[in-house]
Structure 1
């Protein structure tokens, strides 16, 4: 691949450059989470408790993101970790999704009990706390927004903050309803709404993380188009044993065997193939094996 071909140069900045923003978001959310949990216990509000629980997963998710970024940045590539520890970021995102799912299920179970035995909740205290939660989540949202486009782990924390922000809005609405109408069922209704908002984002994040872990081709890439483009490189007679997958956030990788025509210049073909992958598919790490056309049978699929 030539000079400068390095995993870390492409991956390290995906999450690491947002480290300070993650720390600020984690600090703000953790501080308010404690206050909201205390308020939930004092007021008996399930909506506040569910929002505090969701905020706890926000804090834990950001903590895992920071830990993964730290580990990936320090992990030197050696004979046992040829790709470093970059997959830790994806594992953290998957763990984050599992935690979110657990919170949603817990809230739904608790809400069922509240519908049969509603609790009286002081609407004024509930409203003040929910408004504070909304403000904190807006700040965290602004801090994480840019990083969500570059890192799956930052995206996981960002999605949680969005859900928590909407949850705070729901709690505010519930508090207003209780204050103006006295309808105490607004509290468990808001709690259920928060839980139902968590689930779709949880499945989406988990699906994306699992897709990376099983080394499926990136959803936005057409593997057939990659094959066609490589086959169109001058001097390439055939393309086989092509694999495209995602190593971690912002790093798609590929490997392929290129059969060269007799007159092809190996160096020129490799340079043109690398440029095609970079320009047309943003693939900057590719392992390309070249061989004369007709040199034996194509590689058979791996079997165990």
Structure 2
């Protein structure tokens, strides 16, 4: 039985990042969106304005997306030390971003469907009222974008071993930000189309701008789904970080890395398992110290296999490290 404390070999698996300010700003944006939505729906009902009603219910879809963002932050914080999650809740925000991206893609599809329909069945437009609604929506979204755009994350610079800045490293916040940008883009395109329809009689431009907006939003949603989906499936790790780990281990003594896996346990934290063969085995802590300058590498497991008899080093492997399994 061990008579010494095990604290030296144990550490927390809470890899979540403090996002209190991002959560606070998202809640403010959520309240602004909710107030605007209620005002537009009430005014549209009283005044009989379809433009106000349509924009009000459109705001409801973004309100739901902001709700996902806030829920993800709260759930990750409340369950950070829950033993049911092997590496904590660091990926909950990524999952929230993925869900919001899917919702954004659905919104783009609905926009495209309605726009195509308007090509074949043009609807009468109350230009002055519709322009006012679009301008109001643009103002609300610009304020919301200002509240959400100030949060930045960090990424590892493999050339200098330092942190660099990466905008919207928080995928949960990035999803909320993209929803705001999508709504702002829709408002801008609507304003252009409405002015063209009012003064030039180009009614068809309203539907055309809807298709343009749907296409741009689909592209944003695709990139967001791709980024978050890759992290959720333990992919998307910078190959340079993997090669850095490989070279650092193999440049020490005659070590030969035979298996290496690197994956994300949160948006800004990496975990790695390294299996190596060597004639001069050291304690696992020795190899962890070799990798300690990589700031994003937060959880490392080392397997050391002593090499007996003939040299284990594969010269071709040392000159072609990419051949090592880099999972």
| TM-score bucket (shorter structure) | 0.7 to 0.9
The alpha-carbon deviation at position 131 of structure 1 amounts to 0.9
The answer for the alignment partner of 2:280 in structure 1 is 262
Residues 124-203 of structure 1 aligned to structure 2 (within 5 Å): 124-147=128-151, 149-203=168-222
| 1:245 corresponds to 2:289 | no
Q: CA deviation at 1:211?
A: 0.5
Render the CA deviation track for 1:179-202: whole Å, top value 9, x for unaligned.
Answer: 212332232222222211210011
Q: How far, CA to CA, are the matches of 2:223 and 2:148 in structure 1?
A: 18
CA separation in 2, counterparts of 1:167 and 1:180? 20
1:286 to 300, 305, 323: 300
Query: SS of the residue aligned with 1:241?
Result: strand
1:6 counterpart residue number: 12
Equivalent position SS for 2:292: helix
8 Å CA contact 1:236–1:260 kept in 2: the answer is: yes
Alignment root-mean-square deviation, CA: 3.1
Return the alpha-carbon distance in structure 1 between the equivalents of residues 270 and 35 of structure 2.
37
Query: Is residue 96 from structure 1 mapped to residue 100 from structure 2 by the alignment?
Result: yes
Deviates more, 1:104-113 or 1:79-88: 79-88
CA distance in 2, matches of 1:290, 1:52: 61
Give the TM-score, by structure 2 length: 0.77
TM-score computed with the length of structure 1 as normaliser: 0.82
| Structure 2 CA distance for partners of 1:245 and 1:213, relative to 1, 3 Å | same
Larger CA Rg, structure 1 vs 2: 2
Which structure has more RCO (C-alpha within 8 Å, separation ≥ 6)?
Answer: 1
Tell me the distance in 2 between the aligned counterparts of 1:6 and 1:168.
Answer: 46
How far the C-alpha of 1:68 sits from its partner, in A, is 1.1
Deviations 1:229-288 (A, max 9, x none): 3322x346112321111222222222212334427465433312333x33xxx3233222
**In the alignment, does 2:96 pair up with 1:82?**
no
Instruction: Quote the residue 1:68 is aligned against.
Output: 72
Task: Specify which of 245, 248, 254 is matched with residue 229 of structure 1.
Answer: 248
Contact 1:141 1:161 in 2 (8 A): yes
* CA–CA separation in structure 2 for the residues paired with 1:7 and 1:128: 51
User: In the aligned structure 1, how far is the partner of 2:56 from the partner of 2:240?
Assistant: 39
Q: 1:206 corresponds to which residue?
A: 225
**1:110 maps to which residue?**
114
Provide structure 1 residue ranges, at least 5 long, that are not aligned to the other structure: none
Bigger share in helix:
1
